[in-house]
Amino acid sequence: MRRYETTYILRPNLGEEQFSEIIERTNNIIKNDGGAIINLERWGNRKLAYEINKEILGQYIYFDYAAPGSTILELERIFRIDDRVLRFLTVKIADAIDEETVASETERVAALAAAKLSGETEAEVEDSAKKDTDEEDSDEEDFGEEDFDDADDDDK
């Protein structure tokens, strides 16, 4: 599997039901091909840089996922057919990604989302994650400079 991110723009005048239907269909295509959604964000209505199909606003959807290359072909085919999708862009982030990395990235994104709701900043979340890994590393034996000073004395 490879890691991708896709951003697509939907017509702003669609109802919530249609937004959800398009997002669900996209997620199902990825999951049915053996992929996994890492992150899904609805950025909301934003002004377009230029008019597209007589629209000046668009509903932006961003998602980060792991999937085989054939999934991208199907996603983009569906996006081209659907008139409700104004634009889309898919970028390959990594050539290979394993399930362990997908799980850890999903957990990291969930932690960031939870922290955002509780008012913490990204830096605070990353610092706490770093402290957790530092505590695991501190269980290993530490060698300080004093442990190596004796070796210098033997050379004299």
Q: What is the pLDDT of residues 13-41, one digit of tens each?
A: 988 999 999 999 999 999 999 999 999 99
d(CA 38, CA 25): 16
Burial of 59 (0-12, 13-18, 19+ CB in 10 A): buried
pTM above threshold 0.75:
no
* 4 has pLDDT over 60: yes
| Residues 114/119/125/131 CA torsion (nearest 10 deg) | -120
> Which whole number is the average pLDDT over 52-76?
92
